[in-house]
A and B are shown apart, each in its own frame.
Chain A
Amino acid sequence: MSLAKVTQVKGLALAVPGDDIDTDRIIPARFLRCVTFDGLGEHAFRDERTGPDGLERPHPMNSAQAARIAAAKQGVMVVGFNFGCGSSREHAPQSLWRFGFTAFVGGSFAEIFFGNSTTLGVPCLTLSKDDLAECDAFVRANPEVELTVDVQNLVVTAGAKSWKASIAASARDGLINGKWDPIADLLEGAPAVDQTAGTLAYVVGK
């Protein structure tokens, strides 16, 4: 299985502020009533974007900037700390990815969200607290400037600005080598898998 090498992602950026944004907020549970991920993009952040009265609420995802990212199917979401906490639903990164986001930059990411995104080939890069604040402010002030998320060199740049970024080494390795979906590697290990299985009493039925 050959996958694209994700060495860098370039695109317009949207700041979605707040810490501890959970996956129930990213994709409300009622949209999990489905047997495919198709069509999830339009429901990303649905209950933050639309009030109980059905009217649009002020939210970054309702902005013209978000619409541009959706049209380009390419863009960077700049988030806070512990983004994607809560439920393990892959529907969350799936919905944002299908909306058009192809990278995340934030203070920290919940582990399952991070893993789910990486497996989609969507990098989640972490900035220091101060750098994140600066990046966030820059993105808001300069919506027309593209952000470059450089996974290879671990840096986020926008215009003349740049911030040092980090990501788990294994995720970086997978992304830049086009091995972000581990299935090929895992399948390759099949003989060793059978060997391990044979050593586990509960697996062999004892």
Chain B
Amino acid sequence: MAKTLFQKVWEAHTVRQLPNGQTQLFIGTHLIHEVTSPQAFGMLRDLGLKVKYPQRTFATVDHIVPTNELKEPYSDPIAQEMIEALRKNTKDFGIRFFDTNTGTQGIVHMVGPEQGITQPGTTIACGDSHTATHGAFGAIAFGIGTTQVRDVLATQTLALSALKVRRIEVNGQLSPGVYAKDVILHIIRVLGVNGGIGYAYEYAGTTFDGFSLEERMTVCNMSIEGGARCGYVNPDQKTFDYIKGKPYAPKAADWDAAVARWASFASDAGCRYDDVVKFNAAEIRPTVTWGITPGQAIFIDEKMPALETLNAADRATAEDAYKHMKLAPDTAIKGTKVDVCFLGSCTNGRISDLREVAKYLKGRKVSPNVKAIVVPGSQLTAIQAVHEGLDKIYIEAGFEWRGAGCSMCLAMNPDKLVGDQLCASSSNRNFKGRQGSQTGRTILMSPLMVAAAAITGQVTDAREVFTV
């Protein structure tokens, strides 16, 4: 019988049926970070349990790491306490920790792929909702709560119910200046922020075939913003090429067998999907959010929706959004003044993002009214970028060049909005207060759109600022 990748991976990792009807699913790869793991280790100790497969859990530190402070102790004592707790927990239980002094630390969803830990046909769990990022490699990867982190540590399994699979096909060529970020913002806009509840999203079509692994990661990363706990792209030659030679990639003698196995996990032709949705890449334009959920998005050259055009439920959220964003319905978003520009995060903090923007940034200057920061998502990315001289291009243009971490994606480190500052951001969430100020405002967009906002000091169409 023809099967989806989801079904094949699920079956390969099924341990047994639990009495309540759920599946006990083997989690081959477990990633942890400092925010959602300390309580799990606490529970483990309370129960007198050990880590069952310490070699299958990998740790890094990302959320609380200050990006402009290299020396410890950090000025925030709580951040210091959290990093030390992770050091102790990983040491006590024999878990590999990609610590700040190793040159390999970074956002957890960047470290896995960079190390070759993220592989096709595997199950990956992490106490972080953006774990679907790893689905770009054809893994079934999802975010879990802290008690489930405990479950994986103690048993290397989770109690789960299978998901339905929705195939999201995007076909055709994206226009110049339109990126993977626009694709996922558009998908969420159309299918809604809760459209994916109960589903795994399989992203496919010629647009995805043409995407690099990093572009695929950008899309899979935001599956959760569309309500889908997990999203994936079927593995192909690009996937195998990306993994080859990475520290945790299969060694030469095992390589061919690994590739054959990985390829066998791809969804079969003619398999049944619970739903299929198709998009035409040529119709997607640069997309920006205007509200407080990632689904409240428009093409840059559209007007924000008039309240009358929305149904009752959407209208209430929209009214709340307009009030918070200090924006007016039925007006253009283009021209909205921007205070802060943030280029980074596990959505768009990779080397390809930094390269793409740098290409256009040469010789341009950040507006004097804007604070612009660029935060490589990982130390390896930062090292590579410096090696290519990208840091100089950013600094020359007026960006602050920072160390690796989550930074202004969320308010757990010193990078925060102040008051009602408006931030053009390459991250993934525009929730109220997300960037550290209760009244702070976030507009999500692609990295190049962030750069265009930085230069002009306003929300603008990157295609008019740069020759794309």
Contact = CB atoms under 8 A, between A and B. Distances in A.
Interface string A73-104: 00000000110011111110100000000000
B144 interface: yes
Nearest to B409: A29
A189 B16 contact: yes
A44 B147 CA distance: 19
A88 B155 contact: no
B119 interface: yes
Interface string A12-35: 000000111010110011101111
Interface in A157-206: 168-170, 173-174, 177, 179, 181-183, 185-187, 189-190, 192-193, 195-197, 199-203, 206
B151 A182 contact: yes
Contacts of A85: 193-194, 227
Contact of A200 (B13, B38, B47, B197): B13
Contacts of B79: 33
A82 B47 CA distance: 33
A116 interface: yes
B156 A20 contact: no
- Most chain B Cβ neighbours within 10 Å, of A22, A29, A196: A29
B15 A81 contact: no
B147 A90 contact: yes
A32 B412 contact: yes
B229 A112 contact: yes
A71 to B, nearest CB: 26
A188 B410 CA distance: 38
B429 A86 contact: yes
B57 to A, nearest CB: 12
Given A86-B129, A186-B154, A196-B13, A18 B317 contact: yes
Interface stretch (B20-28, B267-275, B361-369, B447-455): B20-28
B293 A88 contact: no
A121 to B, nearest CB: 11
Contacts of A183: 47, 150-151, 154-155
A115 B145 contact: yes
A18 B316 contact: yes
Interface in B219-262: 224, 227, 229, 250, 254, 257-258, 261
A151 B9 CA distance: 33
A77 B419 CA distance: 31
A22 B21 CA distance: 29
Contacts of A181: 147
Interface stretch (B107-115, B331-339, B430-438): B430-438
Contacts of A32: 35, 63, 412
Nearest to A89: B36
B87 to A, nearest CB: 12
Contact of B198 (A111, A189, A193): A111
Interface residues of B, number: 82
Contacts of B42: 35-36
A51 interface: yes
Most buried by A among B38, B42, B193, B429: B193
A108 interface: yes
B227 A35 contact: no
Nearest to B86: A35
Contacts of B64: 33
A115 B155 contact: no
A112 to B, nearest CB: 6
Contacts of A20: 193-194, 293, 317
Contacts of A202: 28-29, 119, 122, 250, 258
A87 B128 CA distance: 7
B20 A179 contact: yes
A82 B196 CA distance: 11
A47 interface: yes
Contacts of A169: 20-21
Contacts of A33: 64, 76, 78-79, 82, 412
Contact of B39 (A18, A35, A93): A35
A185 B160 CA distance: 12
Contact of A201 (B38, B257, B432): B257
A170 B78 contact: no
B429 A24 contact: yes
Given A33-B79, A87-B129, A112-B129, A182 B431 contact: no
Contacts of A192: 15-16, 24
B171 interface: no
A131 to B, nearest CB: 16
A147 B434 CA distance: 33
B220 to A, nearest CB: 15
A193 B317 contact: no
A119 B148 contact: yes
B444 to A, nearest CB: 13
A32 B257 CA distance: 43
Contacts of A24: 410, 429, 431-434
Most buried by B among A81, A111, A168, A177: A111
B53 interface: yes
Contacts of A37: 39, 146
A85 B428 CA distance: 13
Contacts of A28: 411, 433, 438
B145 A119 contact: yes
B280 interface: no
Closest 9 CB pairs between A and B? A116-B145, A90-B145, A182-B159, A88-B143, A35-B38, A88-B129, A90-B146, A173-B20, A82-B194
10 contacts: A22-B429, A87-B429, A89-B36, A90-B36, A110-B194, A110-B227, A111-B229, A170-B22, A186-B155, A202-B250
Given A34-B78, A187-B154, 7 more contacts: A32-B63, A82-B194, A90-B147, A111-B197, A170-B21, A189-B15, A193-B155
Interface of B: 12-16, 18-22, 24, 26, 28-29, 35-36, 38-39, 42, 47, 49, 52-53, 56, 63-64, 76, 78-79, 81-82, 85, 119, 122, 127-129, 143-148, 150-151, 154-159, 161, 193-194, 197-198, 224, 227, 229, 250, 254, 257-258, 261, 293, 313, 316-317, 320, 410-412, 419, 429, 431-434, 436-439
